[in-house]
Amino acid sequence: MTKENKIVKAVVGILRNAKGETLIAERRQGQFMGGFWELPGGKIEPGENNEESLARELKEELGIIISAPKLIHTMCHQYPEKTVYLWIYTIDHFDNEARGAEGQSITWCPTEKLNDFNLLPTMKAIIHKICLPEFYWITPENEPEEALLEQLQAHINSGSKLVQLRAKTILDASFVEGFYQICQDANVKLILNTLHKTFEESCDGWHLTTQELLSLDDRPCGTDKLLGASTHNLTEIEHAETLDVDYISIAPVEPTKSHPGRVSLGWDKAKELVEKSNLPAYLLGGMSLQNLQDAHSINAQGVAGISQV
């Protein structure tokens, strides 16, 4: 007789202190996956809604009283013996000083150090949700190198923290190195979406075209680098998840000048795909910073595009 897979529904809270550090807690020995670190939260009990469960769990675990939690992501993770559904909230306001009220170890961790901990498998996508910016710039095609460098500086000056260098022609290696150096000096991450990727280029990560995504069976780079992928439907999103990519783009949400004949997904379909993905999702296609609020309303990570500043 096949053992029935257990379903667990839980809530997770992202708490930050005045330094911008995130609170994580170590699961106690004897618990499921004891010794792993996680964001605080717990199971939704019968008769509770999500926010009630989150408030109760964080009071029991940390001794704090929360207010106005904001849902930012949902996900589903399949363990061998159970399926876990998670609702993830940010919490900007809470009363009392957080402590390990149930005997667990807790720590406030800088965002860039979170992956140094032995995190639960479900935490990786959530950590990327925390660490990734809400928009990124994609370089336009067929632009002179000098013009690209000028535009890069303008986007850096406007606050961009993530840039995708995209090209369908071979770029000069020295130009890419110089482009990357400018990004490094400005504390901006550079993602390469260029031809003939070796996954050894000097950069902070790579973005896979849909064709590249579907041609791969395993993640082509280490977890110390970012890996993104272009997706348009649920099949491609599911394959991106099997490759353990760090984020996806979903496109095109609206009609674009660059692809005038392509049928757009529309916001309802985009919402459906975001809801079915465990990964942070950026919306592309006719997007600008004016679309950020709409993107956040469907729990997308944000937007990306060529012309946004």
Domains of the chain: 6-123 (3.90.79.10), 135-305 (3.20.20.70)
* Neighbour count for residue 43 (Cβ, 10 Å): 12
Determine the average pLDDT of the residues in 89-105.
Answer: 94
Predicted pLDDT of residue 239: 98
- Residue 34 φ then ψ, to 5°: -60, 145
What is the C-alpha separation between 52 and 119, in angstroms, rounded?
25
Determine the average pLDDT of the residues in 106-113.
Answer: 92
Q: What percent of the chain has pLDDT over 90?
A: 76
| pLDDT tens for each residue of 36-46 | 999 999 999 99
Q: Binning pLDDT at 50, 70 and 90, where does residue 309 land?
A: very low
Three-class SS state of 257: coil
Determine the average pLDDT of the residues in 13-39.
Answer: 91
Determine the average pLDDT of the residues in 260-287.
Answer: 91
pTM for the whole structure: 0.83
What is the C-alpha separation between 190 and 184, in angstroms, rounded?
8
What is the C-alpha separation between 282 and 305, in angstroms, rounded?
10
Q: Helix 267-276 vs helix 234-242: angle between axes, to the nearest 10 degrees?
A: 30
